[in-house]
Every structure is written in structure tokens, then in C-alpha cells.
């Protein structure tokens, strides 16, 4: 049975998350997909590698998509990210005027979903962003759980 588009793109994001984990980064992957179905940018966390606290997968994917189009407003694009975006990223996601954000695993400690919902009610920031959660949530959550279990073992 063919995958639904959200599942298909989230699987691509999971591959990026696995690459991040192999490199010692928190395993988060992200894609920006144009309404035409074209993937315009891919990113994974690069915080440790770049020594840049803002090198989160979703922010890097937005930057690359903006460079691809030569514009920062991405109202004809969807962001797919394996982990619910953090509060630090919420404002950037909102200001990019994304059409939609799709994420897999929720982050009970730091998730930005509430921030995005709140920001969506702020009329001067543009139209609301459609948000979908829980796409391949088990797979997205499992890679994070395994990563942090390994880190805890390494500290013991």
C-alpha cells in the first residue's frame, strides 16, 4: 500500500534524524516541501557540529528553503520535522509564514505547539499555520528515546 504524502515526507525526515544521531547530534530531521510536492530543502540538527545553538533542523531547513526561493516567506510550503519544534524556533516558523507544519514526536518538556497556536492568533503576523502532529510518532519518538538512553549509558 502506498504511503500517504505526510508519511512519505516524514520517512525522509527520519533518515536525516538517523544521520544526525550517528554524528552525535540530537536526532531531528526536517524537510521543506513546496505545494507542488517538490522537496526544496533538507536539514538535520547540526548544533554540536557547527557550535551554533541556532543550528536546529527546522531553522536550517527554513534558511535553505529561503535561499532556494530567494524569499523568506514560505506560505506555499510545508515543514516536516521529526520532533515538535522547540519554543526558540516557534517565532521563526511563524514569521516564515509557512502554510503548514507537520511533526512526528511531541516533546512534553519543551514543545512549541502551544507557542505556535498562541502566535497563530496574532493577526499582524499573518494567517494561521495549519499544524498536524503525530505523523509516524512512534518511529520519531523511538529514535529520540534510543539516542538519550545511549547518552545516559555513556555517562555512567
Write out the catalytic residue numbers. 58
Are 14 and 29 contacting, i.e. CB atoms less than 8 angstroms apart? yes
SS3 49: helix
**Residues forming beta bridges with residue 32, ordered by sequence position:** 41, 79
Q: With contact defined as beta carbons under 8 Å apart, do 74 and 97 qualify?
A: yes
118: cell is 498562541
CA 69 – CA 97 distance, rounded (Å)? 14
Helices 137-155, 5-22: axis angle to 10 degrees equals 10
Q: Are β-strands 29-34 and 77-83 bridged in parallel, bridged antiparallel, or unpaired?
A: antiparallel
For the chain, state the CA radius of gyration: 15
Amino acid at each position: 500500500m502506498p504511503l500517504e504524502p505526510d508519511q512519505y515526507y516524514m520517512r525522509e525526515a527520519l533518515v536525516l534524524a538517523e544521520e544526525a544521531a550517528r554524528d552525535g547530534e540530537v536526532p531531528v530531521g526536517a524537510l521543506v516541501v513546496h505545494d507542488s510536492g517538490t522537496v526544496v530543502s533538507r536539514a538535520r540538527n547540526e548544533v554540536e557540529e557547527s557550535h551554533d545553538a541556532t543550528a536546529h533542523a527546522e531553522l536550517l531547513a527554513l534558511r535553505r528553503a529561503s535561499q532556494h526561493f530567494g524569499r523568506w516567506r514560505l506560505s506555499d510550503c510545508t515543514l516536516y520535522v521529526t520532533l515538535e519544534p522547540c519554543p526558540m524556533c516557534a517565532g521563526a516558523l511563524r514569521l516564515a509564514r509557512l502554510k503548514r507544519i507537520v511533526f512526528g514526536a511531541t516533546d512534553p518538556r519543551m514543545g512549541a505547539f502551544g507557542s505556535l497556536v498562541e502566535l497563530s492568533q496574532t493577526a499582524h503576523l499573518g494567517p494561521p499555520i495549519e499544524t498536524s502532529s503525530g505523523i509516524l510518532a512512534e518511529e520519531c519518538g523511538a529514535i529520540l528515546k534510543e539516542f538519550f538512553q545511549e547518552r545516559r549509558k555513556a555517562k555512567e
